[in-house]
Amino acid sequence: MPRLLFIPLFFVALISQAAPPKIDAVYPAGGKIGTENDVVFVGKCDPWPCEFWASDSGVKFVPDEKRERVGKIVLEKKTKPGPFWFRFLNAEGTSEPRLFFAGTLPEVVEDAKLEHGAVLEGQPVTEKLPLVVNGRLEKKNEADFFKVTAKKGDVLHIALDGYSLRSPIDPMLHVYDADGARLALQHDGPVNLDPRLKFPIPADGEYTLGVLAIGHPTNANVFLQGSTASVYRLHLALDEKALPAHLKPAPLPVSPQPNAPYTAPFEVVSVLGKPRTPNRVLVSAKKGDSFLAKVEAYSLGFETDPVLRIFKPDGALLRETDDVKPNRDSEYLVKISADGEYGIEVADRYGRAGENLKYRLTVGERKPDFTVTADKHSYAVKAGETVEVKLKIARINGHVVPLELVVPKILGIDVELPKEIPNKTADVIIKLKAKADAKAFNKSIQIKLRESEGDAKLVKTIDFSLQDAAARGPFLIDEISDLWLTIIPKPAPKKEEKPDDKKEKADAKAKK
């Protein structure tokens, strides 16, 4: 009997001492909607199986009871196409949110038994395109190769998700002919480190696609990156339309170009048609007016690295602006000092031209706005203690409307809000105080910041941003609004032994 009691008490002790799960990657990193996908997780999750959470209600997880960090991610038919967040959690807290992609294309997984590393020994892709190949650069200096058969006149669209899955890689794509001669190389893509390549097939035959990567963030020791967390998804199609939306430019039709000057507000979608030749429009404005000129290209998936130039009615340059963080798009607030026609030019930083050098120019009113971000994606608090949620509030374009925080009611938590929210960019703190008798809690919460005055009140859900100083462009998703809160209750008091129990134990010891 004592032995039977010892086992559960032992595991209770393990649970209370376990650290929050740490998940660095999942492999494969995606699957087709309506399927069950065998996956393995990279990291730690004790005691196994940990509880699983996904931001899409159509996603379920079935753990392997015998093998740790192994199981099936089930993508029910109601799962929304695209990326979603998932977490693992235990009594001590939650893992960092990680990405998994719910796709609509057929999916295959890299054959780990094959010797990847030689161009002519690539894995044959025999399934009909379009499809997705899930792979992993598992070892240092590893390169993966895949063979595709195509016909002259075909255009092979190749797009890779690696960095955008938050893998620690800066990937490259190579294309080789049947003799192993390299025909094409693509490194960075139009929006981040993940490459995209449009390859016209020059002749009927077999072509080899190579996936290689250096590490990200980079360091002084440059070599081909390889690790169990270096996962990727390679999309192959003969029609660009078959690719997921995030891997192709926004479908924007080019606007007609009138000869007369524009009057704000307006929007123009155009293409840079001649090398080293900017596009130009005129805007009729009056003294005292102001308008925000904004060029979007990078954020829409186009290759253009736009430069915006504003000219006065006399032809003098008023302003030239390039990148506006966190991307390579451009904008400028123009304050009109004299009546007349102002010139707005859009150019590519490198003087390029072509059908992919598209952009959208909007000229209109500068609207006041605000942003808010949390300092962490998850918070853990012990019963009787307090945790702080630090928020960074940024007022944009002269926003001064009073703001108020809305925190959901959580059983066992007293919320202390800041006395006031400044009418300027500032940091504020929410204090979550767990009562001494607070019960266990391990769920996502959403906190909102909203305008408290006005007719059309702006409301923002507070996000945690995964973008940091090392980021080189957007991920599949950059923010998570499902912040996590874990309440760790006080351990149950130990049962005191009665005097009779103590006497029985002493007698038994004496007999031994």
Mean pLDDT of 321-350: 90
> Residue 335: what pLDDT?
92
For the cut 90, the answer to whether the pLDDT of residue 511 exceeds it is: no
Beta carbons of 255 and 270 less than 8 angstroms apart: yes
pLDDT tens per residue, range 468-481: 988 999 999 999 99
Query: What tokens appear for 448 in the block?
Result: 């909102």
For the cut 90, the answer to whether the pLDDT of residue 418 exceeds it is: yes
> Residue 115: what pLDDT?
60
pLDDT tens per residue, range 427-470: 999 999 999 999 999 999 999 999 998 888 899 999 999 999 88
For the cut 50, the answer to whether the pLDDT of residue 83 exceeds it is: yes
> Residue 174: what pLDDT?
97
pLDDT tens per residue, range 219-275: 777 788 899 999 999 999 999 999 999 999 999 999 987 778 999 999 999 999 999
For the cut 70, the answer to whether the pLDDT of residue 305 exceeds it is: yes
Query: What tokens appear for 313 in the block?
Result: 């009615």
For the cut 60, the answer to whether the pLDDT of residue 169 exceeds it is: yes
Please report which confidence band the pLDDT of residue 1 belongs to, taking 50, 70 and 90 as the band edges. Answer: very low
> Residue 2: what pLDDT?
33
Counting residues of the chain whose pLDDT is more than 70, the rounded percentage is: 92
Mean pLDDT of 112-122: 70
pLDDT tens per residue, range 33-58: 999 999 999 999 999 999 999 999 99
Q: What is the largest CA-CA distance in the chain?
A: 109
> Residue 219: what pLDDT?
77
267: β partners: 362
For the cut 90, the answer to whether the pLDDT of residue 118 exceeds it is: no
- The 8-class DSSP code of residue 245 comes to G
Q: Locate tokens 């997921």: which residue?
A: 244
- List the single range of 76-85, 448-457, 468-477, 497-506 with lowest mean pLDDT: 497-506
For the cut 80, the answer to whether the pLDDT of residue 182 exceeds it is: yes
Edge-to-edge strand list for the sheet holding 205-215: 123-124, 144-150, 205-215, 169-176, 182-186
For the cut 70, the answer to whether the pLDDT of residue 378 exceeds it is: yes
d(CA 227, CA 215): 10
d(CA 474, CA 466): 9
Q: Which of 27, 52, 210 is nearest to 135 (CA)?
A: 27
> Residue 509: what pLDDT?
62
> Residue 425: what pLDDT?
92
Where helices occur in 259-413 by DSSP H, the ranges are none
Amino acid identity of residue 472, one-letter, is: R
Please report which confidence band the pLDDT of residue 12 belongs to, taking 50, 70 and 90 as the band edges. Answer: very low
* pLDDT, the chain, mean: 91
Counting residues of the chain whose pLDDT is more than 90, the rounded percentage is: 79
Please report which confidence band the pLDDT of residue 397 belongs to, taking 50, 70 and 90 as the band edges. Answer: confident
Which are the contacts of 363, defined by CB distance < 8 A and separation ≥ 6? 262, 264, 265, 266, 267, 283, 291, 292, 293, 294, 344
Which has more confidence, 326 or 184?
184
For the cut 90, the answer to whether the pLDDT of residue 4 exceeds it is: no
